[in-house]
């Protein structure tokens, strides 16, 4: 009888799985709300008058708090530096940096996997190790080196981004290249393709899932980056969107928080839309790169 009662008290695995899944869903929902709250705060305060941003931070912008689109106009026309130039420089830096990272790191990953020598393994582990090196350790020497090598313009700073973004990109590309059958490349070689032609006609199209995934991550990183452009670029001549927002100061260091929130919103909207449209490719790219280790 005791055995029968024990068997009866055992819950079916499916019910336990559903219960655990429900608890996990609740936890993830709470975490998602916590992450979304700052974005909502920026959205709400971007339509408030400056005097109410501090006193009624989480109140909805109704009545006397309502500023309309005045904060956006004020932020884009503040000072002597036009906002459209900041947008242009941010777009140029982001696109050039991402293109360089995707091209050169994918080629490097392909070479590392196919040659598989001690030298290639050392290069691979150095690239992976670079992901754990804090930027603060190298930022002072980096700014001096950038000035010496004339890498302090929007058209040359992508070279620096290539160095900092290579670690994660090579790590993901190496994982995916290992899953590509080498027989495909051998067949292309028999047909007369050299290494470059084999890469661009055979390997490069097959890297599309990881290309999209790495591209999304790099675009979000470069677009939102503040510290590297601030240290390297000539701020009087070149300003990205984060740097432009930082200079929304009046006399005696006063800051118009309403205008600041408005420009922050303008800065994060493109990357949020871009991420929402492409988030499924991130999961596919990471899963594709984890097929073989």
Of 21-30, 131-140, 197-206, 249-258, the poorest mean pLDDT is in 249-258
Question: Two tokens at 164?
Answer: 């900092």
Q: How many domains does the chain have?
A: 2
Supply the pLDDT for residue 253.
62
Supply the pLDDT for residue 285.
59
Is 1 inside a domain boundary?
Answer: no
Does residue 64 sit in the same domain as residue 185? no
CATH number of the domain where residue 279 is located: 1.10.3720.10
Supply the pLDDT for residue 124.
92
* HSE-CB of 256 using CA atoms within 13 angstroms: 25
Rounded (5°) CA angle 87-233-157:
80
Does residue 108 sit in the same domain as residue 176? yes
Assign 240 to helix, strand or coil: coil
Which residues have C-beta within 8 Å of that of residue 183, sequence separation ≥ 6?
Answer: none
Report helix angle 83-115 to 118-129, nearest 10: 150
Cβ density class 38-66: b for 16+ within 10 Å, e for less: eeeebbbbbbbbbebbeeeeeeebeeebe
Supply the pLDDT for residue 293.
44
Q: Where are the alpha helices (DSSP H) in 46-80?
A: 50-55, 70-77
pLDDT value at 231 more than 60: yes
Can you spell out the DSSP letters for 127-180?
Answer: HHHGGGS-GGGTHHHHHHHHHHTT--STTTHHHHHHHHHHHHHHHHHHHHHTTS
Which of 24, 47, 71 is the C-terminal boundary of a domain? 71
SS3 content of the chain, % helix, strand, coil (to 5): 75, 0, 20
* Percent of the chain topping pLDDT 90: 23
Does residue 178 sit in the same domain as residue 264? yes
CB 266 within 8 Å of CB 223: no
Is 76 inside a domain boundary?
Answer: no
Does residue 146 sit in the same domain as residue 182? yes
Does residue 197 sit in the same domain as residue 120? yes
Where does the pLDDT of residue 217 fall: very low under 50, low under 70, confident under 90, or very high at 90 and above?
confident
Does residue 55 sit in the same domain as residue 29? yes
Does residue 100 sit in the same domain as residue 243? yes
Is 48 inside a domain boundary?
Answer: yes
Rounded CA-CA distance 170/176 in Å is 10
pLDDT value at 6 more than 80: no
- The DSSP 8-state label assigned to residue 290 in this structure reads T
Where does the pLDDT of residue 107 fall: very low under 50, low under 70, confident under 90, or very high at 90 and above?
very high
Does residue 63 sit in the same domain as residue 94? no
Highest mean pLDDT among 7-11, 220-224, 250-254: 220-224
CB 83 within 8 Å of CB 260: no
For 57-96, write each residue's pLDDT tens digit. 788 888 888 888 888 888 888 878 888 999 999 999 999 9
Name the β-bridge partners of 66.
Answer: 48
Does residue 142 sit in the same domain as residue 268? yes
For 270-292, write each residue's pLDDT tens digit. 888 888 887 776 666 555 555 44
Supply the pLDDT for residue 16.
67
Arithmetic mean of pLDDT over the chain: 84
pLDDT value at 248 more than 70: yes
Which of 52, 71, 90 is the C-terminal boundary of a domain? 71
Does residue 165 sit in the same domain as residue 50? no
Does residue 65 sit in the same domain as residue 93? no
CB atoms within 10 A of CB 131: 13
Rounded CA-CA distance 72/261 in Å is 9
For 249-264, write each residue's pLDDT tens digit. 765 567 778 888 889 8
Rounded (5°) CA angle 51-56-58:
130
Rounded CA-CA distance 198/267 in Å is 40
For 179-204, write each residue's pLDDT tens digit. 888 888 888 888 888 888 888 888 98
CB 263 within 8 Å of CB 244: yes
pLDDT value at 30 more than 80: yes
Which residues have C-beta within 8 Å of that of residue 159, sequence separation ≥ 6?
Answer: 100, 151
Supply the pLDDT for residue 15.
65
| Residue range(s) defining the domain that contains residue 265 | 81-289
Rounded CA-CA distance 274/289 in Å is 22
Does residue 65 sit in the same domain as residue 100? no
Which residues have C-beta within 8 Å of that of residue 61, sequence separation ≥ 6?
Answer: 44, 45, 47, 48, 52, 67
Where does the pLDDT of residue 133 fall: very low under 50, low under 70, confident under 90, or very high at 90 and above?
confident
């Amino acid at each position: 009888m005791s055995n029968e009662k024990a068997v009866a008290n055992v819950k079916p695995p499916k019910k336990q799985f559903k219960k655990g899944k429900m608890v996990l869903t609740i936890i993830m929902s709470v975490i998602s709300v916590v992450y979304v709250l700052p974005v909502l705060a920026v959205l709400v305060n971007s339509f408030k008058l400056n005097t109410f941003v501090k006193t009624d931070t989480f109140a909805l912008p109704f009545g006397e708090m309502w500023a309309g689109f005045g904060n956006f106009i004020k932020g884009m026309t503040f000072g002597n530096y036009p906002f459209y130039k900041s947008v242009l420089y941010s777009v140029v830096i982001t696109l050039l940096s991402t293109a360089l990272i995707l091209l050169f790191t994918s080629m490097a990953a392909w070479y590392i996997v196919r040659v598989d020598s001690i030298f290639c393994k050392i290069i691979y582990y150095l690239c992976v190790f670079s992901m754990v090196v804090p930027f603060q350790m190298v930022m002072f020497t980096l700014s001096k080196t950038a000035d010496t090598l004339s890498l302090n313009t929007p058209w040359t700073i992508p070279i620096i981004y290539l160095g900092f973004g290579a670690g994660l990109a090579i790590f993901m590309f190496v994982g995916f290249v290992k899953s590509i059958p080498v027989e495909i490349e051998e067949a292309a070689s028999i047909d007369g393709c050299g290494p470059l032609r084999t890469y661009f006609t055979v390997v490069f199209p097959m890297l599309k899932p990881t290309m999209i995934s790495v591209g999304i991550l790099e675009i979000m990183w470069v677009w939102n980056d503040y510290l590297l452009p601030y240290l390297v670029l000539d701020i009087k001549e070149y300003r990205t969107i984060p740097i432009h927002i930082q200079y929304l100061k009046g006399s005696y260091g006063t800051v118009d928080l309403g205008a600041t929130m408005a420009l922050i919103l303008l800065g994060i909207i493109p990357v949020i839309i871009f991420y929402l449209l492409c988030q499924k490719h991130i999961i596919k790219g990471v899963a594709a790169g984890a097929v073989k280790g």
